[in-house]
Each structure stands twice: as C-alpha cells, then as structure tokens.
Amino acid sequence: MDLYPSISEYLAQRKSEFFNRKTLLSAFTVFVSAGILVFPSRLGIMGVGYAEMSKDPFNFRDASSQIYQRLLLPGIAYFLQFKGPVLFYLFSLLLTFVLILCTLLFLRSRDIQTSFLENLSIAVSTFIITQFQSPGYTEQLSLIIILLMVTVPLGFLPRIAGVALALFAHE
C-alpha cells in the first residue's frame, strides 16, 4: 500500500476545498483580467516553432536546435489535436488558465486566503504574464507540473516522474 495518495485520490478527498465554483471563478476572473491588461495577440517567436512542431512532433526539423528539446508541450497538443498555429495558440491560453488555477490551488492548499487584487498581482508577475505577452512557450507546462508536485503529497517515484516530465517540457 502506498503511503501517499495519488493525485486523483488526493483531489477526491479535498474536492470541496479545491475544485469549488469560487476557486474556478476566481481563476477565470484573474485570467480574463490579466488578458485585458496584456492582450495576447499572437504566438511568441518560439511559440510559432512549437505550433509547427505540434503538427507532427516526431517528424519536425529544427534548424535552431532549441525547439526539438522541448517535446512534451507540442506532443500533448498533437495528441489532443491542438495542431497548427490557431489551435496551439488556444491550447497555450488554456494552459495559462490552468497555471493560474494551479497557483491559486497551491495557495489554498497552504491555507492562504487571497483577495482578487492579490490574485491579479500574482498573475501579473513574470511567470504568468509572459504567457500572455508571448503565448506558446513551454515554461508554463513545467510550472504546472512543479506546482502539482508541491501541492499534492507524492512519494519519491512520482516526484522523480514529475521532474522528468518537467524536463521534457523545458530542459
């Protein structure tokens, strides 16, 4: 028997604390407000490369030798059929929302109650607002994985798997 619950078991136990309407609405309001402050108009420079990679991640030729190392995000986009620039752009914004939600869940797991302005202040810090300025980059997936690892109590092997996944997202 495992000493630590899996992510799904942990969330099922604490569902009323985490996935309630208030938390989701708060994350959505912060996402929309940050999007108004810095309107995400187009993919960032490397985001365009990741969008191209999302069409066929294992057959992608990278002239810069930087993009091919970050396979996880374009691979997930490919698997979920968010292929090409437009759908990858929407997928990137969806992950930005998930990043905001995971940040708020981390705070809630530490019993830190925050107001809307405090949440918006967190969202306009560099690790989130850059995802609005240059959508499509892979850092947000690494941050989501790391936030899940520090929010949900996991054993040693799941933490190692999380580190490996975060490295596949951004070396």
> CA–CA separation, 58 vs 71, rounded Å?
9
Residue ranges of domains in the chain:
7-169
**CA–CA dist 85, 48 (Å, integer):** 7
Residue % of the chain over a pLDDT of 70 = 82
Distance CA 160, CA 163 (A): 5
Q: Using one digit for the tens of pLDDT, what is the confidence trace for 67-109?
A: 666 778 888 899 999 998 899 899 999 999 999 999 999 998 8
Q: What is the pTM of this model?
A: 0.84
Q: How confident is the model at residue 6 (pLDDT cuts 50, 70, 90)?
A: low
User: How many angstroms separate the CA atoms of 78 and 101, rounded?
Assistant: 23
